[in-house]
Amino acid sequence: MAETFCAECTAASSDHSPGNISTVNGVGRQFYGAAEECPQCGSVVRTLWFTLIDVPIYPMGSYRYKSAEGKMKKGFDAWLSPKPRFWARKTALHGKQVLTTFAIGLGMVALLGGAYYVYVTFIKTR
């Protein structure tokens, strides 16, 4: 078996594991984002979040992440497919990724809240 992570990614991270990652009805721990892809080993930096209804609430740490099944799926395919097996090594919290993910999550909550307000105020009262 080939090395999981290259020497540079191994040196820039610790062997601390995120443990079991799971959610029930969107509540639990999930990885979001993919930044700084390594050209040698193909790993990316992902941030582990505590989520409520799949909305990121609190970042629990960033990890150098590599899928055991090869190339990581993205977008709608990743959302529909079963959760992959992966390797992960703890690294420094990726601030830009945290801010981006939190902003997108907050935007989705605002959008859904606004849609609900319009429904209750204008549509349901008819």
Q: What pLDDT is attached to residue 83? A: 59
Q: How far apart are CA 55 and CA 111, in angstroms?
A: 13
Q: How far apart are CA 51 and CA 27, in angstroms?
A: 5
Q: How far apart are CA 69 and CA 82, in angstroms?
A: 12
Q: How far apart are CA 90 and CA 84, in angstroms?
A: 18
Asked if residue 41 is part of any domain, the answer here is: yes
Q: What pLDDT is attached to residue 48? A: 94
What domain count does the chain have?
1
Which domain range does residue 24 map to? Answer: 7-123
Asked if residue 2 is part of any domain, the answer here is: no
Give 55's strand partners: 52
> 32 and 47 in contact (C-beta within 8 Å)?
yes
In which band, very low, low, confident or very high, does the pLDDT at 4 lie, cut at 50, 70 and 90?
Answer: confident
Q: What pLDDT is attached to residue 1? A: 37
